[in-house]
Structure formats: C-alpha cells, structure tokens
C-alpha cells in the first residue's frame, strides 16, 4: 500500500528532506512541507482549495485532517508542531512548538502562537488568537493555565520523538 499523493489543478505536494508518509495517508494539492515531517496513518493533508505550509519536524498524527477554505483561509503550521490523533486544523495559523491535542479543532483564521497547548477535544473558534505560553481548553477553547517550562520542553521532545518513530517504520515501507 502506498500513500495517496496527488496533484490538484497542476499543484503538487512538495516534501522537505527525510519526510515520512504512512502508507494510507493522503496528501494532495498545494502542500509544502519542511524537513523531517511525519504524516501518520489515515491522516489527510488536503491542499486542494488553498495552500498548506508545514514547517520542519511537524507531525500530523493518525486520523488528523489539515484543510483550508477556498479563496479565504490557507493553513500554515510551524516547526516542531504535534497535531494529535483525529485533530483538525482548518484554515488556521499554528506557530512553532505547539501541541494540538487529540480530537481538537482549530478553525479558520485562528492563530495559535508559539508554545501553546490546545487541549484534547478543545474547539478554537474562527478568528481566535491563542496567546503564547498558555493552555486552551473547552468548547469554545478558553485560556486556562500557563504552560510550564517542562511542558514546553516536552512539546519539543514529542516532535523529536515522532521523527524517531518514523525511523521504526521506514525499513518496512521504503
């Protein structure tokens, strides 16, 4: 089984060095990825209606969806970002060293500044700005607690771990 990697309207996905794409992931259209990114099982990165830019060492975990809004909202995701299992980032900007928790949703024109945690199941509404260094939780997501130095280090470590995990799978699929 190979991942689905397709052009849309003449725009092909572009991958940095040492990216890992799971066999059943889907990446289509105007998607530009940095180095050492990992796209996991059943994840969808759909740059068909607008552009998606992803920085270095970012992991899009199992079942996550990255999409945009036609002619209105592109998606930009920074370096060392972890987008958790079944999370959605849609037409938003996510800065460096962020954790988007499992099942969380980040909507159009939202901005998640660096060193933020979006808690599992949280919904960041359209046009929301999540301030650097805070945990946001709930529906709609609200600032609930400052991120500790240990949590900031943990988010960087998680991004590095996903690069390592990809190495476990490469011998079986390359």
For residue range 39-97, list pLDDT tens digits in order.
999 999 999 999 999 999 999 999 999 999 999 999 999 999 999 999 999 999 999 99
CB atoms within 10 A of CB 73: 19
Q: Give the mean model confidence (pLDDT) for residues 99-122.
A: 98
Q: Give the mean model confidence (pLDDT) for residues 146-161.
A: 97
28 in Cβ contact with 11 (< 8 Å): no
Residue 174 has pLDDT above 70, yes or no: no
Query: Tens digit of pLDDT for each residue in 7-33?
Result: 999 999 999 999 999 999 999 999 999
Cα–Cα distance between 59 and 56 in angstroms, integer? Answer: 9
Pick the CATH number of 4-169 from 2.160.10.10, 3.40.50.2300, 1.10.10.10, 3.40.190.10: 2.160.10.10
Mean pLDDT of the chain: 97
DSSP structural state of residue 31: E
pLDDT of residue 1: 83
Q: Give the mean model confidence (pLDDT) for residues 111-137.
A: 98
- State the pTM of this model: 0.97
* Residue 171 pLDDT grade (very low, low, confident, very high; cuts 50, 70, 90): confident
Give the C-alpha distances (Å, rounded to integers) separating 171 from 3, 30, 61, 153, 165. 16, 28, 20, 29, 12
18 in Cβ contact with 35 (< 8 Å): yes
pLDDT of residue 60: 98
Beta strands 44-54; 20-21: pairing state: unpaired
The residues spanned by each domain of the chain are 4-169
């Amino acid at each position: 089984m190979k991942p689905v990697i397709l052009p849309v309207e003449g725009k092909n996905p572009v991958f940095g060095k040492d990216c890992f794409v799971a066999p059943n992931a889907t990446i289509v259209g105007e998607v530009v990825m940095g180095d050492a990114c990992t796209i996991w099982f059943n994840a969808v990165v759909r740059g068909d209606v607008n552009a998606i830019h992803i920085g270095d060492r970012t992991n899009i975990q199992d079942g996550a969806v990255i999409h945009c809004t036609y002619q209105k909202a592109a998606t930009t995701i920074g370096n060392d970002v972890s987008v958790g299992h079944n999370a959605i980032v849609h037409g938003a900007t996510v800065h460096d060293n962020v954790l988007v928790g499992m099942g969380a949703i980040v909507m159009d024109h939202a901005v998640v500044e660096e060193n933020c945690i979006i808690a599992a199941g949280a919904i960041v509404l359209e046009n929301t700005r999540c301030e650097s260094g805070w945990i946001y939780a709930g529906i709609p997501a609200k600032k609930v607690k400052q991120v500790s130095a240990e949590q900031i280090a943990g988010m960087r470590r998680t991004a590095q771990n996903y690069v390592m995990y990809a190495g476990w799978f490469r011998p079986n699929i390359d």
